[in-house]
Amino acid sequence: MKTFDLIIVGGCSAGLAAAINAKRLHPEMSVAVIEKLPRIGKKLLATGNGKCNLTNEYALNHEYVNRDFAQAAFDAYPPQKIVEFFGSTGLLCYADSEGRVYPESNTAASVVDALRFEIERLEIDVFCETPVTDIKKKSNGFLINNEFECKKLIITTGGKSSPPQGSDGSGFLLAKQLGHSVTKLYPALVPICASPEITKPMKGVRVRNVTLTLKGEKKIAQTRGEILFTDYGLSGIAAMELASQAQKYIDNVKEKPFTYIDFMPDMSYDDLVEYLKNLCKIKRFCKIDNLLTGFLPKAVGIAICKAAKLYNAEMRIDELKEKDFRQTAQKIKSFPLEVSGTKGFANAQVTSGGIKVGEIDLKTMQSKICPNLYFAGEIIDVDGGCGGFNLQWAWASGMLAGEVK
């Protein structure tokens, strides 16, 4: 039997932050991390396209799911403290114009190394290739896999998203074993499946600055940013940020919502009509394929003309009528795609849903159901958008749990 004061199950973002904070604050405690993969921090290597967008300077203003619950962790460990924490491990960071914080090296491996070396320096025991499948509550602590014992336990096994990086949902079973309940789970920050017959001809085309409005019976959500057309629908940050809400609508209302793309969010409909009329003078001898190439990729322009029902490859721009400009402007401002689902947990960056926040003390991350049990990170029902917001939650909640108050 291997016995420790504190064991952390799950050795990635929240778990490593928890372990380091615990050992720094309580050097007398014996601390161990149990990780099912052959190495700790594997998911971090894939974050931020390999650069690891590790927090966001504006996270305190960000709308998370269960924001009120998360506030105490953010008060204790705001983005600036997270940057200082990494600074204390020797890792320097910079922020871009949107507040997204990256390691100065621009490589996620530096973040994993910083955590790994600090774990080694603090002499925290790490057991890799050790999937936890069973946890029993005992009078004086916990028995894990009939192999480990501890007085205090932090579970940081993540959600169900991106299973090759380790988070396969097994942590939810462990939480249930200890008396907790879990909300319905949805893949979040994941590409959406939407009108493939329309998007397929635009496959691989990116549009930089659009708004997407998700609507069912009424407006559900709106995002702004980049989209990428694919053969199944839409990827890109603006689309991925709508995914969990689209899936929730489909599951609850049993209908498919639409997402409406506004390709010119900074121009009003009337100004756009005038602009198109002016374009007609400039390009009057061109074929209709080229009508919108001054501000949109050609394939997108063709799709808009088709949606506006004025597409005929041989048609010349000077054949367009007043109503054609109005119809084209309308489709530029509101291009509809029917959303049929998402690319699922396998392709999701985050899981929306998790252990119910009402069962956890927000000031300590300790279970209200099982004393000396703590949770942190994505396993809890808190999630945010793209931009470093989910790692901010993982570090902040991990460090708070690591205080083991």
Ligand X SMILES: Cc1cc2nc3c(=O)[nH]c(=O)nc-3n(C[C@H](O)[C@H](O)[C@H](O)COP(=O)(O)OP(=O)(O)OC[C@H]3O[C@@H](n4cnc5c(N)ncnc54)[C@H](O)[C@@H]3O)c2cc1C
Cβ atoms of 142 and 150 within 8 Å: the answer is yes
The residue number whose beta carbon is nearest to ligand X equals: 166
Cβ distance to ligand X smaller for residue 42 or 331: 42
Rounded to the nearest whole angstrom, what is the least distance from the CB of residue 202 to ligand X in the complex? 24
Restricting to residues 155-194, which ones interact with ligand X according to CB under 6 A?
156-158, 161-162, 165-167, 170-171
Check binding of 43 to ligand X (CB under 6 A): yes
Rounded to the nearest whole angstrom, what is the least distance from the CB of residue 245 to ligand X in the complex? 18
The span from the first CA to the last CA of the chain, in angstroms, equals: 26
Check binding of 225 to ligand X (CB under 6 A): no
Residues near ligand X (CB under 6 A), total: 39
Tokens 């597409």 correspond to: 311
Q: With helix as H, strand as E and coil as C, how does 339-389 read? A: EEEECCHHHCCEEECCECHHHECCCCCEECCCCCEEECHHHECCECCCCCH
Rounded to the nearest whole angstrom, what is the least distance from the CB of residue 379 to ligand X in the complex? 6
Cβ distance to ligand X smaller for residue 162 or 235: 162
H helix or E strand, kind and range, residue 119: helix 108-121
Q: What is the spatial distance between Cα 2 and Cα 366, in angstroms, rounded to a whole number?
A: 23
Check binding of 66 to ligand X (CB under 6 A): no
Residues 6+ apart with CB under 8 A from 324: 308, 310
Check binding of 236 to ligand X (CB under 6 A): no
Residues 6+ apart with CB under 8 A from 292: 298, 300, 301, 304, 305, 328, 332
**Residue range at the interface with ligand X (CB under 6 A); choices 10-18, 180-188, 243-251, 338-346:** 10-18
Residues 6+ apart with CB under 8 A from 252: none
Binding track over 295-334 against ligand X, x by CB under 6 A = ----------------------------------------
Q: Which amino acid belongs to residue 279?
A: L
Binding track over 114-133 against ligand X, x by CB under 6 A = -----------------xx-
The contact set with ligand X (CB under 6 A) reads: 9-15, 34-37, 42-43, 46-48, 52-53, 131-132, 156-158, 161-162, 165-167, 170-171, 349-350, 377-378, 388-391, 394
